[in-house]
Structure 1
Amino acid sequence: MIRSETFATLKARWLTILVFVLLGVLLASLYVMFAPREYSASTRLLVSASTGTNGSDLAQGGTFSQQQARNYSNIATSEIVLQPVIDALDLQLTVTALGRKVSSTIPLNTSVIQIEVTDSSPVRAAAIANSVTTSLVNTVGSLVPTDADGRSLVGVDIVQRATVPSRPSSPNALIALFAGAVGGLVAGVAYVIIARRISSRVRTAAEARRLTNAPVLGTIRFESDVRERAAMADISSRSVRAEEYRQVRTNVGFLQMGNAHKAFAITSSVPGEGKSTTSANLAASLASIGRSVCLIEADLRKPSLGGYLDLESSIGLTTVLSGDADLDDALQTWGYSGLQVLLAGEVPPNPSELLSSPAAADLIATLRARFEIIIVDTPPILPVTDGAIIGNLLGGVILVIGLGKVRERELAGTIEALTVSHTPVLGTVLNMAASEHTRAYEYGYGSTASHEAREGAEAPRVTAES
């Protein structure tokens, strides 16, 4: 799954990757254009040993020659060889600096020494290579022992002298451009993957299921004019949006099976995902089929349900917990279905302490016993801990996920926070979905005149949070 999603991401962002590749090629081109030119000249020497004529002597001589070639190759960049070169060519270089220009190698299973010199001047590169070769031959001649007749046991002969190179060895345009393209490709792929992990937003049900490992209870479409054209929550509404909430209501009915009195905490990861309007619409939809429902606003930091439902917000949960009002006085009826609403009340200075107090637990237990279903609107999980406190008290949360709003890392952080507090996610509601994700609900709900007339006659409506 992760591999396929990564491949899909790379495929979707191919243009970004192509830009990185072109940028890598451009940088490589600039390097080729402005990098200083280096020229390489090389010579070859053959190391041979004086041996007998039979096969055994020849084999031993060949092995001895290869061993001596390795020894001589090592001293080719030493002071005893390079200082005479500096003196002969009058180079303004130290032995160390000249040693960085000279390299000595031996092809595999041979007794050939290859000396290569790299310099910014092609003429000087060839001159240094030939001079180093001559100096090495002279040095070897002074170091190699001789036999009784005064003949050297090892011979070093120059088999190839250096010529002035006609083209630079560095920078190599083809290698540079290829390296730039590969580097740009790697950088582009890494950028796309890292950017997706850091800032990518949850946009599909598959992504939501992968990150939460929880069932999707329903999908609510995004409508740009929803604030002006309120969303129907009444069961008799023929709008697509009302049908989407009915789908959520049906699936919520399968949660907490066996409990005569159910309680659900509704939360989200970050503000603006639509948790409050989801709570209100779900509560209204449940009440419209004859269930006794209480909607509780436990978002004591930024309460908003009073404005959505056009109810008095000065009295509510906080005033009941502080003893300034009775529960029956704080409960308000909304709509024609008898939905009971307990708003937040006055904003307290210590919301977390208030919600985690024994008085809050007792009040929720009282409401849970009094109503068939209570819906508790809680704050987002990431900014504060209030949602996790209530969710743990009720045995789990319903998580509203704003598609295109919440980032993957934010949703993952929410799941981690709920896991740490031992609060399970009972299910998710995908809010703000693109219309193509909810087309299935349009079956049988065309925009006929009778439907429009029926929708115009509906009563209670809840505005939706964008």
Structure 2
Amino acid sequence: MELVDYVVLLRRRWLVLVLGGMLGGVLGVVSTVGQPDSFRAEATVFLSLDRGGSVSELAQGSSYTQGIIQSYVLLVTTPTVLQPVIDELGLDTTPQRLAKNITASSPVETVVIEIGATAGSARGAADVANAVASQLAVAVSDLEPSASSNSERIKVTTIAPASPPPFAFAPQRKLMAVLGLAAGLGLAVLFVVLRELLDTKVRTEEDVALVTEAPVLGAISERAGSEPELVPFSGDAGSPRGESYRRLRSNVQFMNLEGTSQVVVVTSSSAGEGKSTTAVNLAVTMAGAGARVLLIDADLRRPTVAKILGLVGEAGLATVLSGRAALADVLQPVGPQRMDVLTSGETPPNPNELLGSHQMGVLLQAAREQYDVVVLDAPPLLPVSDAAVLAAQADGALLVVNGSMTTRKHVETSIQSLLMARARLMGVVLNRVKGQVSSPYYYGPTVAQKPWGLRLRRSPA
């Protein structure tokens, strides 16, 4: 996938991103619920060596103080300093526990110690920080060795006493909300991208191109709830979906370079992909264009054409192939145009043998002589080999692919079945594509016209 493909993908899945970001933000805020507020106050002390006042002596004193200041930083969190603080403020804790809420540091090349204290209230944090600073001065004075002159001792001076902070520094609810939002959005993006990369379903023309060089002859969008399953016999466009079938018809006609009668097998990888509906609508649109069309229900295992068109299905293809009836006796005319339907008839015990028999070849040859187009609704390719047997006797096969269920592996195996039977794959029909795929190319009435009803046509006497 290129960068623009990722951008289009994220735009298409914007709702997932929004929900992921919102969920992350909410979880970030929820994670701070129940956490008590923590306040932090800081006091600053200055260390100096109380020695003579000459410039040389002051410089020597400063260097000496810098050399030992880290020792005083460590002294801040010892019981020597903290126990008197606990006693002074009446805290219910121990020096070890209090030390976890006290920090001390000294900026490089300075004689300053910054003492930080954390507490559950602003005043408590300030009081602890100031008390630690005061007790540090006492501890340093007590730990200094005795000297001949008082001017040789280290002096600790509070230069910036702690004051109560106006806001709690933890928990940082706004920061957690922002971090949760960013994390949720990032996880949503990762989910969308991984789902797309790991999704092997064939949904678009690009997916088809990954498994075959055969063209996509049609893309049929999902049927709306009130939209009829069958396209009208009238040539007027009733919906973008109907226009998709007419475009499929035109592409199939363009595949007939010789201009002779066409025998087309419509099949799929698995059951439930919409091959029968596609076969019926292709035959209807062919007839609507003025062609003489014969629709054959060649699915002798699970026939559906008779049910779709509301026809009698007791006698049909199996009856003719078994020699119990002539072709003309079991044809059923449908619609106002020149379209005949040969249903499957009774379910035979040997459908594969019948479809590959000499009688089937004779029937197809007779159909070629009487009709411009012969459309065969064949069984799916993966469960049985009936469709491959039929496709070998036809001009080619249309492979119907349902984007919501067909994987690339299914398509590859189906195409391999056709190749092994030396059949020609005319192209792929993407069925039940989500979204109005054909709408950019639809030019017709905005309100769907009432479709023509299917009705039997009387044969001329």
Letter of the 1:442 partner, please give it.
Answer: G
Letter of the 1:282 partner, please give it.
Answer: L
Q: Distance in 2 between matches of 1:209 and 1:59?
A: 82
Contact 2:28/2:179 (<8 A) preserved: no
Structure 1 residue 246: deviation in Å? 3.4
Can you list the C-alpha shifts for 1:12-62, whole angstroms capped at 9, x where unaligned?
A: 789x669939x9589859969x8634332211233567999999x969965
Give the aligned CA root-mean-square deviation in angstroms: 5.9
Q: Distance in 1 between matches of 2:151 and 2:356?
A: 107
Structure 1 residue 70: deviation in Å? 4.3
Aligned positions of 1:45-444 closer than 5 A = 45-47=45-47, 68-107=68-107, 110-137=110-137, 155=154, 157-160=156-159, 162-165=161-164, 167-171=166-170, 176-177=173-174, 179-180=176-177, 183-184=180-181, 187=184, 208-213=204-209, 215-219=216-220, 222=223, 226-227=227-228, 231-233=231-233, 237-240=234-237, 244-254=244-254, 263-267=264-268, 271=272, 274-286=274-286, 289-290=291-292, 294-297=296-299, 300=301, 303-313=303-313, 326=322, 332-335=330-333, 337=338, 339=340, 341=342, 343=344, 346=347, 359=353, 362=356, 370=365, 375-378=376-379, 385-386=382-383, 398-399=399-400, 401=402, 410=404, 414-419=407-412, 426-430=427-431, 434=436, 437=439, 440-442=442-444
Larger radius of gyration: 2
Q: Structure 1 residues 160, 263: CA separation in 2 closer, same or farther (over 3 Å shift)?
A: farther
Letter of the 1:73 partner, please give it.
Answer: V
Structure 1 residue 388: deviation in Å? 10
Q: Distance in 1 between matches of 2:271 and 2:386?
A: 16
Letter of the 1:333 partner, please give it.
Answer: L
Q: Structure 1 residues 185, 218: CA separation in 2 closer, same or farther (over 3 Å shift)?
A: same
Contact 2:219/2:437 (<8 A) preserved: no
Q: Distance in 1 between matches of 2:426 and 2:31?
A: 55
Is the partner of 2:235 in helix, strand or coil?
coil
Structure 1 residue 309: deviation in Å? 2.7
Is the partner of 1:240 in helix, strand or coil?
coil
Q: Distance in 2 between matches of 1:177 and 1:12?
A: 24
Letter of the 1:245 partner, please give it.
Answer: Y
Equivalent in the alignment of 1:5: 8
Can you list the C-alpha shifts for 1:202-257, whole angstroms capped at 9, x where unaligned?
A: xxxx97334444635254685655549x6334xxx322156653321221245598
Q: Distance in 2 between matches of 1:68 and 1:256?
A: 97
Contact 2:217/2:427 (<8 A) preserved: no
Equivalent in the alignment of 2:371: none
Letter of the 2:164 partner, please give it.
Answer: P
Letter of the 2:309 partner, please give it.
Answer: L
Contact 2:218/2:245 (<8 A) preserved: no
Letter of the 2:101 partner, please give it.
Answer: K
Can you list the C-alpha shifts for 1:40-89, whole angstroms capped at 9, x where unaligned?
A: 2211233567999999x969965x76564445434533445434433454
Contact 2:43/2:115 (<8 A) preserved: yes
Letter of the 2:322 partner, please give it.
Answer: D
Is the partner of 1:45 in helix, strand or coil?
strand
Letter of the 1:209 partner, please give it.
Answer: E
Equivalent in the alignment of 1:463: none
Contact 1:65/1:154 (<8 A) preserved: no
Structure 1 residue 439: deviation in Å? 6.1
Contact 1:73/1:105 (<8 A) preserved: yes
Letter of the 2:98 partner, please give it.
Answer: L
Letter of the 2:168 partner, please give it.
Answer: S
Instruction: Pick which of 391-400 and 289-298 moved more.
Output: 391-400
Q: Distance in 1 between matches of 2:122 and 2:243?
A: 82
Task: State the TM-score, normalized to the length of structure 1.
Answer: 0.61
Is the partner of 2:45 in helix, strand or coil?
strand
Q: Structure 1 residues 93, 218: CA separation in 2 closer, same or farther (over 3 Å shift)?
A: closer
Q: Structure 1 residues 132, 306: CA separation in 2 closer, same or farther (over 3 Å shift)?
A: same
Is the partner of 1:231 in helix, strand or coil?
coil
Contact 1:39/1:169 (<8 A) preserved: yes
Which runs of no fewer than 5 residues in structure 2 stay unpaired?
197-201, 210-214, 369-373, 417-424
Which runs of no fewer than 5 residues in structure 1 stay unpaired?
200-205, 349-353, 461-466
Structure 1 residue 101: deviation in Å? 1.6
Q: Percent identity?
A: 20
Q: Structure 1 residues 140, 211: CA separation in 2 closer, same or farther (over 3 Å shift)?
A: farther
Structure 1 residue 264: deviation in Å? 3.9
Letter of the 1:217 partner, please give it.
Answer: G
Contact 2:296/2:344 (<8 A) preserved: no
Is the partner of 1:297 in helix, strand or coil?
coil
Contact 2:75/2:81 (<8 A) preserved: yes
